[in-house]
Amino acid sequence: MQHSAKHLKRVTAVGAVALAAFSLSPSVASALPTDNPGGHRAAPDATVVGGSRAQQGAFPFMVRLSMGCGGSMLSDDIVLTAAHCVDGSGPDTSITATGGVVDLEDPDAVTATSTEVVQAPGYDGTGKDWALIKLDRPLDQPTLATAQDDSYDKGDFTIAGWGADQEGGAQQRYLLTAQVPFVDDATCKSAYSGLVEDEELCAGKMDTGGVDTCQGDSGGPMFRKDDAGEWIQVGIVSWGEGCARPGKPGVYTEVSTFAADIEAAAAQLG
């Protein structure tokens, strides 16, 4: 089942958007322009809804991707992002990854160019929303461990991004961050009949809304601390209805479901 028009991926077309206009927005699945690769409508500039500005160095594994998505460093030269952010698998030198800063205009920002992309095998717009981007050189920044099982798929999660800070808003220059609570599958299913329960994870404030990822946050990580106090990625910003609406949580790729596939694909990239 394909997501309906109102249940949209949280990508934003940024090719023509000035760097200073970048921002995060609450729910990754907001409306996007129709000229976006992969048939997902791209949204206006936007960042994490209900968030606050992240401190420099707080989330050093975060990267901004030039097609209008977020991502996390899986290794020093491989970015983990969403399948709907890329246009299939194979050689690709069109993507620029920016990291090392919370301010996208900071002169200390580091960049690298893509060389190859792996989109989740079998991805058809529903579920399996993960992809890897191989870079032409390592970025000198920490990586983010991925959850290997569902032990950490509950509780409160941290989200971050340069997407819109309100539904239909503009992309942000500064990295925004917020916390969202876990929403169980049964409750999320009542909001979205198309939820792929074995592959997707929901989070957000069901009663009040107000905090979420949004356009431009697609592909970014949802993460929390593990038992050792280290950050671990449990989700990838995927889709939702609008941004931060009551009763409409954000939907994230459940990383633990695809941990083995992601590891295997990364090994093939070298």
Asked if residue 41 has pLDDT above 80, the reply is no
Quote the pLDDT of residue 28.
37
Question: Known catalytic residue: 94?
Answer: no
Quote the pLDDT of residue 7.
52
In CATH, what is the architecture of 53-269? Beta Barrel (2.40)
In sequence order, the 6+-apart residues with CB closer than 8 A to the CB of 235 are: 157, 201, 203, 221, 222, 223, 252, 253, 254, 255
Asked if residue 38 has pLDDT above 90, the reply is no
pTM to 2 decimals? 0.86
Annotated active-site residue in 3, 7, 40, 84: 84
Distance (Å, whole) CA 98 – CA 239: 23
Least Cα distance to 101 among 109, 112, 89, 90 occurs for 109
| pLDDT tens per residue, range 86-125 | 999 999 999 999 999 999 999 999 999 999 999 999 999 9
- Tell me the two tokens of residue 122: 């079998």
Between residues 70 and 42, the one the model is more confident about:
70
Quote the pLDDT of residue 270.
80
| pLDDT tens per residue, range 57-79 | 999 999 999 999 999 999 999 99
| pLDDT tens per residue, range 136-184 | 999 989 999 999 999 999 999 999 999 999 999 999 999 999 999 999 9
Annotated active-site residue in 129, 153, 212, 217: 129
Annotated active-site residue in 23, 72, 114, 218: 218
In sequence order, the 6+-apart residues with CB closer than 8 A to the CB of 164 are: 12, 23, 24, 25, 26, 30, 43, 44, 45, 46, 47, 49, 170, 171, 172, 214, 215, 216, 217, 243
Question: Known catalytic residue: 3?
Answer: no
| Domains of the chain by residue range | 53-269
Chain-wide mean pLDDT for the chain?
86
| pLDDT tens per residue, range 222-257 | 999 999 999 999 999 999 999 999 999 999 999 999
Question: Known catalytic residue: 140?
Answer: no
Quote the pLDDT of residue 225.
98
Distance (Å, whole) CA 67 – CA 87: 11
DSSP state, residue 46: B
Asked if residue 2 has pLDDT above 60, the reply is no
Distance (Å, whole) CA 246 – CA 253: 21
- How many percent of the chain have pLDDT more than 90? 81
